[in-house]
């Protein structure tokens, strides 16, 4: 059963959207999205996992989806997201969960594990590492927060989101695929379709101080069952970075998703099968 739109308070006047699926008694799964995305990214993944016998919560980080926007730009920062997610686990009354984190969600997963490893039963890290390739960072910086005003209709929203993400999904040429993508990443308002995140996140990204050193956080996962999902065309997670990651955490599972860039949706056959096998090994 899906409970869409539940809110969990993590700070005064800040509550986060949680999409919950009841699946059973095995270790639950918490899903965390990328920088400008929201919990809707995991609808298909969550339903599939719930059907296998696990409760699933997909969370929208502050400033995204139906979560509250933060008036203080400094709070759009990885360590704040980390603390929020620990509070979400408390709000769900989940002592521990399996984490699935895409991009920023993967960084948040590493940071949670670094300070609260007892809360992370296992981790699926989707197309991100403790080091980020410059090419990908430049590309992401070129569009974050630059909303371009409302789109007139869903078709225009789909065209815009394809302009940004088409490089990561070169084989997806069907119009319906991009309409569905737009429905997950835009919301309809009286003025048109607008991107479903706080535009101030772009300013926060530009003005943020030094990012936390993520290598200790990644190394902390060496004691946690870990699956790394890698888009073969990714411009953010590269093969040289992965080799450095292996030196710090040599025992992680790995799947390379062909013909996909940053970041796989996790519904691709290779990713879906690898996640299914990985979860089957967890209690």
pLDDT tens for each residue of 106-161: 999 999 999 999 999 999 999 999 999 999 999 998 999 887 899 999 999 999 99
| Residues facing 255 on adjacent strands | 229
Point out the least confidently predicted range of 10-14, 33-37, 174-178, 207-211.
Answer: 207-211
Q: What is the pLDDT of residues 227-251, one digit of tens each?
A: 999 999 999 999 999 999 999 999 9
Residues 81-99 have pLDDT tens digits of 999 999 999 999 999 999 9
Give me the mean pLDDT over the 53-81 stretch. Answer: 97
**Res 1 pLDDT > 60:** no
Q: Which residues of 63-77 are buried (b: 16+ CB within 10 A; e: fewer)?
A: bbbbbbebeebebbb
Residues 6+ away with beta carbon under 8 Å from 134 = none
Q: What domains are there in the chain, each with its CATH number? A: 2-133+211-280 (3.40.50.1820)
**Confidence at residue 3, expressed as pLDDT on a 0 to 100 scale:** 57
Q: What pLDDT is attached to residue 2?
A: 59
Measured distance between the N- and C-terminal CA atoms of the chain, rounded to whole angstroms:
21
Predicted pLDDT at 4:
61
pLDDT at 211: 77
pTM over 0.95: yes
Please report the pLDDT score of residue 146 as a whole number: 85
Contact by Cβ (8 Å): 54, 279? yes
C-alpha Rg value of the chain to the nearest Å:
18
Mean pLDDT of 22-42: 95
């Amino acid at each position: 059963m899906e409970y869409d739109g539940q809110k969990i308070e993590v700070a005064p006047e800040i509550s986060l959207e949680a999409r919950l699926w009841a699946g059973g008694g095995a270790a639950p799964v918490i899903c965390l999205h990328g920088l400008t995305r929201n919990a809707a990214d995991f609808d298909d993944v969550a339903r599939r996992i719930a059907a296998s016998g696990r409760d699933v919560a997909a969370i929208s980080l502050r400033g995204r989806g139906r979560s509250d926007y933060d008036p203080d730009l400094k709070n759009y920062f990885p360590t704040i997201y980390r603390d929020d997610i620990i509070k979400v686990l408390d709000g769900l009354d989940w002592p521990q969960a399996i984490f699935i984190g895409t991009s920023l969600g993967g960084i948040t997963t590493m940071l949670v594990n670094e300070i609260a490893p007892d809360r992370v039963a296992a981790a699926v890290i989707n197309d991100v590492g403790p080091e980020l390739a410059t090419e990908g960072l430049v590309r992401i910086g070129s569009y974050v927060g630059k909303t371009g005003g409302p789109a007139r209709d869903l078709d225009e929203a789909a065209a815009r989101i394809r302009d940004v993400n088409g490089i990561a999904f070169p084989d997806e040429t069907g119009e319906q695929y991009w309409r569905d993508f737009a429905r997950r990443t835009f919301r309809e308002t009286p003025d048109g379709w607008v991107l479903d995140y706080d535009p101030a996140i772009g300013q926060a990204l530009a003005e943020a101080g030094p990012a936390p050193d993520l290598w200790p956080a990644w190394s902390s996962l060496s004691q946690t069952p870990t699956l790394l999902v890698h888009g073969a065309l990714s411009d953010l997670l590269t093969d040289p970075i992965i080799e450095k990651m292996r030196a710090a955490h040599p025992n992680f599972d790995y799947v390379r998703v062909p013909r996909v860039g940053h970041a796989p949706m996790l519904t691709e056959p290779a990713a879906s099968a690898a996640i299914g096998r990985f979860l089957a090994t967890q209690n």
